[in-house]
Amino acid sequence: MKKGLIVLTMAFISSAVFSCRPRPQEPQAVQEQFDWIVDTFDDVKVLRYRVTDFDRLPLQQKTLIYYLSQAALCGRDIIYDQNCEYNLPIRRTLEAVYVGYEGDRNDPQWAAFEKYLKKVWFANGIHHHYSSDKFIPGFSEEYFDMLVASVPEDRFPHDFGSVEELMAVIKPVMFDPSVCPVRVNQAAGVDLLQTSAMNYYDGVTQREAEAFYGRLAKRAGSEPLSYGLNSQLAKEDGRLVERVWKVGGMYSPALEKVVYWLEKAAGVADERQKEIIEALISFYNTGDLAEYNRFNILWVQDTVSTVDFVNGFTEVYGDPLGYKASWESLVNFRDDEATLRTEIISDNAQWFEDHSPIQDKYKKKEVKGVSAKVINAAFLGGDCYPSTPIGINLPNADWIRKEYGSKSVTIQNITQAYAESSKGNGFLEEFILRPEDRDRIKLYGTLADNMHTDLHECLGHGSGQLAPGVNGDELKQYGSVLEEARADLFSLYYMADPKMVELGLVPDVEVAKAEYASYISNGMMTQLARVELGKDIEQTHMRNRQMISRWAYDLGRRDNVIELVDVDGKTYVVVNDFDKLRSLFGRMLREVQRIKSEGDFFAGRKLVEKYGVKVDPVLHAQVLERYGALGIQPYAGFVNPVYTPVMEGGEIVDIECGYPAGYVEQMLDYSSRYSYLPSVNK
């Protein structure tokens, strides 16, 4: 359970083939031709996602999605400028060259230029979307000069004056490694604002910013405002001022268009959603953070609308101080069938609690399941595009979450695209030894993966209770790993329970075998592909998975429950006894629950340190080598579908959903039609 973004988990990346999400009722989905991968470059693959069931929506909801998707497009330039003030002039210069250059496009330097532009589009700027390090162009400055000189001057942005003046500004930023080296610096001991290339502050030191917002935070009452969320903090004539992002303020040209389309959306929405959208419009028009709170409160209470959306200044990961939010949008609609699955689980929460292998005194007398909503993305924008989360949990303001709750969603068609695009990439053949395991994973891997997530989220975290006098923070830095382990173990234990078949959640207990084989192999081995050689495991979920897997290996050693098999110098993890493994999971759950309920810090620390942190360097090197040989890109992002209104006599009579041909085409199209900001914004 996590606020904000739920990013792609390790299990997903390194075992993406384990999840392919056909519907539970039809494990072998109809084989239709759909090209999931539209482009690959560098460490990235660009995918399409499929907007399942869009055609079945009524016209009113299709139209609502269309208007909201237009609003999502209009804010695209904002995230570029937020990420770094030079991103827009650089992107526009690169695009002008890309479109206008009539010379040799077979030159290797041209290929490097094209790759650089693709990376800039992917990251919404010149810094890597994940590591935040600046890209180093693979072409020379001289080559770039030649390209620019060959394109007519009027194609370039003129915000700095002549093309020479433009070049004088952007070339050091592009080519000098010491200029703007990192977008978000997290290294302690230096001024985080002065050393980060993000554009949330202008001429302000970290100390000044912290003092400024520290003073404002003291004013907060019981319904605090998210101070700093929607502005750039700047120093003007020696004084600190906030340049507020609103209509009439900073980013106004883009926000005016966003508002224009939101008004259209409000015009076709029902009463409930109209009020929500109008609150958001009011926030954009006034910049008033109290209006933002009002919008969030209305939004989080709407759990019935089929179509839903995120649109606004939302996540604060891009600000090293965590005040300022990047602009993003996600338009989506509920997947009723998949949501039904989480409701069945939730409705039976008490049964699961009563039959849990934990000690009776640590069981909840009255347990309430959480029913997470499953959605399909219809459109991605701003900071959610092209790289996007697989789930979201909003709003972020703690007091609103406490008073009004939060919405937690998993984005089914995005995970589907990840999984489908990984099929046949050789991962299973390389890392899973037995054909019967591979077959089971191919047949049931998707369903198993979905069930695991559902049980973990809807029941696992919410089960169990603390002993009297224990308040829950006794486990300190080991608390979150042990909490994830508790939810995972709950899920793994029940996955193989006959109750799952009885409730119609799985067709067969074989589903659990698929999950067990992939979970253990991932936890003991394949997830190491994402750890740098020589390093320990740091990431919480990865520590949890290794801890569970290695602990189970240890506990079952005498009976050879899990075996490390060596074939021709390659190591494989094999589960020999699924029934015994299930009872081991039960035993481990009982112990982890005891540790949490009693706040037993020392036992918790021992488990995590013994099983979750250290890496076998020989096995690690082997995994990296085998993974590398498969040539799988570690990051993925998406192109959007294309929505086209069908008009009759000036009226929209239908919206058609199509899929674009290419990544470059979509980016150039967006840049030519939805680019509203100047290259310099203050």
Q: How far is the CB of 460 from Zn ion (least distance, A)?
A: 7
Nearer to Zn ion, 134 or 543 (CB): 543
Q: How far is the CB of 6 from Zn ion (least distance, A)?
A: 9
Nearer to Zn ion, 268 or 487 (CB): 487
Nearer to Zn ion, 437 or 484 (CB): 484
Q: How far is the CB of 2 from Zn ion (least distance, A)?
A: 7
Q: Report whether the peptide linkage leading into residue 395 is cis, meaning its omega lies within 30 degrees of zero.
A: yes
Structural element, H or E, at residue 353? helix 349-354
Q: How far is the CB of 488 from Zn ion (least distance, A)?
A: 8
- The upper half-sphere exposure of residue 162, i.e. CA atoms within 13 Å in the direction of its Cβ, equals 4
CA end-to-end distance (rounded Å), the chain? 37
Nearer to Zn ion, 1 or 297 (CB): 1
Nearer to Zn ion, 540 or 622 (CB): 540
Nearer to Zn ion, 180 or 487 (CB): 487
Rounded Cα gap, residues 285 and 259, in angstroms:
8
**What is the 3-state secondary structure of 40-63?**
EECCEEEEECCCCCHHHCCHHHHH
3-state secondary structure of 25: coil
Phi, psi (deg, nearest 5) at residue 547: -60, -50
Please, where are the H alpha helices in 423-562?
A: 427-431, 435-455, 479-495, 498-502, 510-524, 540-555
- The upper half-sphere exposure of residue 248, i.e. CA atoms within 13 Å in the direction of its Cβ, equals 7
Nearer to Zn ion, 437 or 483 (CB): 483
Q: How far is the CB of 540 from Zn ion (least distance, A)?
A: 9
Residue 305 CA: distances (Å) to CA of 64, 70, 300, 411, 478: 12, 20, 11, 16, 39
Nearer to Zn ion, 487 or 542 (CB): 487
Closest chain position to Zn ion (CB): 487
Joined together, the tokens standing for residue 323 give: 């005040």
Are 666 and 640 in contact by the 8 Å Cβ rule? The answer is yes
Rounded Cα gap, residues 398 and 396, in angstroms:
6
Q: How far is the CB of 197 from Zn ion (least distance, A)?
A: 33
Q: How far is the CB of 552 from Zn ion (least distance, A)?
A: 19
For 95, residues 6+ apart whose C-beta sits below 8 A from its C-beta are 117, 668, 671
Nearer to Zn ion, 243 or 461 (CB): 461
Q: How far is the CB of 491 from Zn ion (least distance, A)?
A: 10
Rounded Cα gap, residues 523 and 542, in angstroms:
7
Nearer to Zn ion, 192 or 495 (CB): 495
Nearer to Zn ion, 477 or 672 (CB): 477
Nearer to Zn ion, 420 or 454 (CB): 454
* Cα dihedral 341, 344, 350, 356 sign: negative
Q: How far is the CB of 431 from Zn ion (least distance, A)?
A: 25
Binding site for Zn ion (CB under 5 A): 487
Phi, psi (deg, nearest 5) at residue 290: -65, -35
For 203, residues 6+ apart whose C-beta sits below 8 A from its C-beta are 234, 235
Q: How far is the CB of 92 from Zn ion (least distance, A)?
A: 42
For 585-601, b where at least 16 C-beta lie within 10 A, e where not — what string? bbbbbbbbbbbbbbbbe
3-state secondary structure of 125: coil
Q: Report whether the peptide linkage leading into residue 386 is cis, meaning its omega lies within 30 degrees of zero.
A: yes
Structural element, H or E, at residue 398? helix 398-404
Are 493 and 584 in contact by the 8 Å Cβ rule? The answer is no
Q: How far is the CB of 567 from Zn ion (least distance, A)?
A: 35
CB atoms within 10 A of CB 562: 26
Joined together, the tokens standing for residue 528 give: 């190491």
Nearer to Zn ion, 280 or 485 (CB): 485
Joined together, the tokens standing for residue 394 give: 């909003």
Rounded Cα gap, residues 454 and 412, in angstroms:
12
Per the listing, tokens 């060959």 go with 150
Structural element, H or E, at residue 196? none
Joined together, the tokens standing for residue 134 give: 């600046």
Nearer to Zn ion, 180 or 492 (CB): 492
Structural element, H or E, at residue 300? helix 289-301
Are 465 and 411 in contact by the 8 Å Cβ rule? The answer is no
Nearer to Zn ion, 397 or 481 (CB): 481
Q: How far is the CB of 539 from Zn ion (least distance, A)?
A: 13
Q: How far is the CB of 610 from Zn ion (least distance, A)?
A: 22
Nearer to Zn ion, 209 or 542 (CB): 542
Are 503 and 520 in contact by the 8 Å Cβ rule? The answer is no
Nearer to Zn ion, 197 or 390 (CB): 390
Q: How far is the CB of 401 from Zn ion (least distance, A)?
A: 16
For 8, residues 6+ apart whose C-beta sits below 8 A from its C-beta are 389, 390, 418, 636
Q: How far is the CB of 522 from Zn ion (least distance, A)?
A: 16
Rounded Cα gap, residues 234 and 205, in angstroms:
10
Joined together, the tokens standing for residue 34 give: 């759909």
Closest CA to 619 of 556, 680, 566, 560: 566
Q: How far is the CB of 367 from Zn ion (least distance, A)?
A: 17
Q: How far is the CB of 456 from Zn ion (least distance, A)?
A: 6
